[in-house]
Structure formats: structure tokens, C-alpha cells
Chain A
């Protein structure tokens, strides 16, 4: 039953919901007004007070009735006291009371029945408990009075609440309903931020019909994007993978072909380069490793890269502690740092690597004394398949994926890489890990 109701509610659109809200507001307003009228006609003073008021009205009525017209205003003034102001006017017209105090009228008339034919009218001031009113003399002139009440403040609070409460209820209702309408939209915003990442997932349709339609459309779009990405990855992996068998054939054929040794060596070099291209392509599109982070001696890792380069006769130096433990995944970290050291050696001819903790984050700096990168190109070199268009990089093997692989490997670890030119020439790559040393 509740499920049915929900299904039915789900088909009501934003427009329908707003309309419903409006109808609800009107109904509550109507009810509140009706309640205030009801309350007002029930309004009563203590019996005693009502009797006193009635008595004074009878006195005023009798005195002013017999007084000549000229002296009536003065006498009316003399009849007034601090709590009851009385005035006389010849006007026959009287203001129309907004609220009729039926209960109080009954109290007064039962105390002084003689006032019945004086056409007594009572009204209540809006923001105080003051009672005003008027009665007509036999010649049609008007006696007005105004009663100050001193002990009425609890009643005032009551009336204030009764005035404000409907608004509060309405505001609360509106909040709840807007919340209900907006909640699925907020989920949609969150999900949109995750499109194309590994955390993307289909959304459960919820909310008004328009939002449901939007969620359906979003889910369809997301699955299209996912399948596009997956197709792209599959294509690249297939290229990286399927070209290897023909390359292996080529290599073996080359080995048995009667060739001049120099030509053979050159061709073997070409095959080697193609193999490296395929490897970097595969590395770039490979999905992220799912293995959990482990304790890694990052100092040993960096020193190992530097020592390996030294063992092969390169100019690489390390400055930093002998040991420093961080949490992370060794394969992507090692790949990123290794690519940066290789880049420094290849382009700069040397690598100055240092390890330190800067502002609680482990930082590896890889610097060289090469030509650096033109300032306007610094931002682009990390993009995949981008290669700098100047002589320096023409003879470089690879597809321009080196730094893209660095960036991708590091981002999976919550780490970042920043490139900058050095004073006095050279490039400096700063790798900032997600956390500090353990």
C-alpha cells in the first residue's frame, strides 16, 4: 500500500508538487484564520472585570443620555479614567469591527441587560489585549470607549504564537518538501562528479518525475561514457598486445636472414624501440593496481634508482636520509620516480635527487642541469601524446607518454608532480606524496 502510494507520488512532477504545496499553504492559512476568529469570539474577561466594565458603560450611557449635546464631550472626558477612555461623537457611522467578541458581549449584556438596546459593539486590538467598542445613544450619537488591560500579556503571547505558528509550520513544511525534491538532485550532482572515474555507478531513480527522467538520462549517458572509455582502453591494450606476436616473428626472421651485421643491428634496434612504445602504451592504459598500500622505504627506493644509474655509469646523486618509511604502492611509485630520473638523465645529462619532508609531506625532488622546458610548454608536457616540438626531443624514443605515466601513477597514490625550470638552467620535478613519513 505504501509502495503503491510512493509509486503514485513518484509520478507527480515538480509542477504538481509545487501546486500541491500551494494548495496546502492555502488550506493551512484558511484553517489558521478560522481558528483566530473562533478564538476571538471565545475571548472573555474574568466575570468580575466584565461586570465592572458593564457597570461603567451603563453609567456613561445614562449620564451622557441626559446631558445636553454641547457639554457631552467634556462630560465624556470627565467620565474617563486611566483604564477606560470614553469619548462622544455625533457621528452615526461607526467603524466595522474586524472581530466580533461574541463571548465578551454576552458577559456584558448579562451583567447589564439595559445595554442590549444600545447596539453595543466590541472589538479587540490586533497586537494587545485592549478592548475597544462603542454604543449608540437614543439620538443616534456615538459613545466610544477604550479599555486598557494590564494583565493581558500571557494572552498576548498566546495570540502572537497563534499568529506566527501557521507561518512557522508552513516554513517547516516547505523546507521538508524542498529537501525531498532536492535530495535526488544533490545525489545526481555527486554522481556527475564521478563520471568517468573508477567510482562511477548507476543512480537509483528517485524524486519527482522530472528528476527521475533526468536520472534515467544520466544513467544512460554514464553507461555510454563508460563503454566509450572501456572501448578505448581495450583498443589500446589490444594494439599493445596484438602487435607483439608479429614483432616477435619479425625479430626471429631478422635473426636468420643473411644480412650485413650493421643493418641487422639497426633493425633490431627498431624492433626494440617498437617494443618500448608498446610497453609504454600498455602501462599508460592499464587499469590501476588494486593491491592495498604497504610500508615502503622510499629512501631505499630513491637511492636504488640513483645507484642503478651510477652502476650504469650515469651522473646521478642522492641527498637525503638513509631510510624513510611511507605508506603506498611500490609499483606505481617506483615507475613514476624511475621515469623522472630517466628523463633527467636523458634530457639533462645528470640527476640530482633529494628526499625530505616539507610541511608534513614527503617530497622527492629530481633536478637536472639540462636545457629545461620553455615556460609556455611546461603546462602541456604532462598531457599524453604531447611531445615538445624542438630538436631536443626529436631523437627521443617513446610516444610522449613518459610524464603522462608519471602523473597517472602518482595520482593513483594521492601524490602530485610539479615541473619548473631552474635558475641557471635545468628542469626540476617535485613529487609530493600524500602523507608524511611513518
Chain B
């Protein structure tokens, strides 16, 4: 997943008391709710819990949250429906937790516009890492590139008839053909389309692809770029990836988000 590649292993939230990000955890299994809350508190988050949709609304009335961890299978109103209702009034970041864990389920959650999707069982490291990544992306500090990256995490990207689906990790050619990408290719393309028409340094690209490729070097980045070029020219035309001699590469097409 692209944005997982962009973050360190464990996010350390702001340690200053009172400014710790607040998380609302909605989970119907009591033991799991207690365990998860304890793990989050241990990592410095301000955690409140709810065991159903009704409790969630009460908690949100009392005070807003910086992030919601929402189980999909809940008694009464399920997580998907709760998500839709929350989105009518709020853009609060939401991570789905599901016991189904199928690819279709993950895609459904992300296509709805969830910020991430976590399949049970998960460990503390994975949970904290995902929450940290989502908070950094959506982080309220409002720097332009942060806002852009959060948008990118949730919305599909289009350029010159091509479409890049963030939820499905799927690239679709102008004639509707699905063109698969490797994890590293997808991450690289995400990096390019998040900064279109700007030169990206070779060194930065190498760092970004380190988690994806065992041997990350100058040469492997060139290989990766040439693979991506080949896939982007499958149906003719020229690839939008331009080599900027001595510096790096540039994605030279305008990008729209839908």
C-alpha cells in the first residue's frame, strides 16, 4: 500500500499532555475493545470507546474525535451504514476494522472513502502504524502537501484517460483495459501523480521504494521507471515519465482527482 511505504514503523504521536490525538474506538467485542484501547493508550493516544452505533453518536456529541476506528460488523446498525451517516456531516478520518478480511471487503471499504482498512487479527504494531499514517496524512496542520496526500489516499486519480484506483490498486488504460502494477510500481506512480509536473529527485525515489524492493539502488529505480513507462505506453503514445538528466524524473501530465 502506497502510504504505508511512506511512513516509519511506529508513529509516535505528540507526547505533550492535552494535545494527544483523540481516538474513538467502536467495537462490540468487550475483551477486544479493552485490549485495543489499552494498546492505544500505551502509545499515547487519548482513547474513548463505544460498543455500538448508539454509543458512538453519544460519544461524538460529547466531544469530537481526531480519528475513528470502526468495526464493520456491529449489532444493530453496521459499520458501513454508520460510516455513510458520519460522512454526511464530518470528514473525520476513519479506519475500518473487519473480521471478513476478503479482498472485496477491503476494496468496498476503501472505495466508500475510508482512510484505511484493517483486517482482524492485527497486532499492536500494525494498528499503531496505520493510525499514525492516517493521522499524518490528514493531520490538521493543513500544510498543502499533507492535504494533497490525504486526498490522494482516498480518491481515484485520472490523467490523459488513464485512471488509477487507490482502493483497488488498479490502473485502467483509456480503452478500459486493466493493467496490473507491482507494489513498487504502484507506490512510484502514486508518488509521481501526487506531485505532477514537478521534478522528483532520484535519491528521494530510492528512499521511498526501499520498503518495496530488497535491493534499492540507482539501477533498480531506473528499472522500475522503465517498467512503469512500458505499462503506460501499452496502448500506444508516449509515457508521461520524463528523465531529467542528473536530477531525477518528472511526471509531465496534469492530474485530476475524482
Contacts and interface: CB of A to CB of B under 8 A. Distances in A.
Interface of A: 241-242, 244-245, 247-256, 268, 271, 274-275, 278-279, 282-283, 286, 289, 294-297, 300-301, 303-305, 307-308, 311-313, 322-323, 325, 330-331, 334
20 contacts: A244-B99, A245-B120, A247-B121, A248-B121, A248-B122, A249-B121, A250-B121, A251-B123, A252-B39, A252-B124, A282-B102, A294-B178, A295-B175, A295-B176, A300-B234, A304-B181, A304-B182, A307-B227, A330-B170, A330-B178
Interface in B179-214: 179-185, 212-214
Given A248-B122, A322-B234, A323-B234, A311 B214 contact: yes
Contact of B173 (A268, A297, A307): A297
A311 B101 contact: no
Contacts of A252: 32, 35-36, 38-39, 123-124
A249 B123 contact: no
Contacts of A300: 179-180, 231, 234
B230 interface: yes
A334 B104 CA distance: 13
A279 B101 contact: yes
A244 B120 contact: yes
A296 B121 contact: no
Contact of B32 (A241, A245, A307, A313): A245
Nearest to A309: B182
Contacts of B104: 289, 331
A325 B120 contact: no
B202 to A, nearest CB: 18
Contacts of A255: 39, 123-125
B31 interface: yes
A251 B234 contact: no
B16 interface: no
B29 interface: yes
B84 interface: no
**What 7 pairs between A and B have smallest CB-CB spacing?**
A247-B121, A248-B121, A244-B120, A304-B180, A295-B177, A252-B35, A255-B124
Nearest to B42: A256
User: What band does the interface of chain B fall in when counting residues whose beta carbon is under 8 Å from A?
Assistant: 35 or more
Nearest to B33: A249
Contact of A334 (B123, B180, B214): B180
Interface of A is mostly: helix
A245 to B, nearest CB: 5
Interface string B115-127: 0000111111100
Nearest to B127: A252
B218 to A, nearest CB: 16
Interface centre among B121, B125, B179, B182 (most CB of A within 10 A): B121
A322 B180 CA distance: 12
Contacts of A286: 102
B179 A253 contact: no
A26 B130 CA distance: 88
Given A248-B122, A249-B32, A295-B175, A283 B39 contact: no
B227 to A, nearest CB: 6
A313 B182 contact: no
B187 to A, nearest CB: 11
B81 interface: no
B91 interface: no
B44 to A, nearest CB: 15
B103 interface: yes
Given A256-B42, A311-B212, A248 B231 contact: no
A245 B29 contact: yes
Given A244-B121, A251-B123, A268-B123, A311 B176 contact: no
B178 A282 contact: no
Interface string B154-187: 0000000000000000100101111111111100
Contacts of A283: 102
Contacts of B4: none
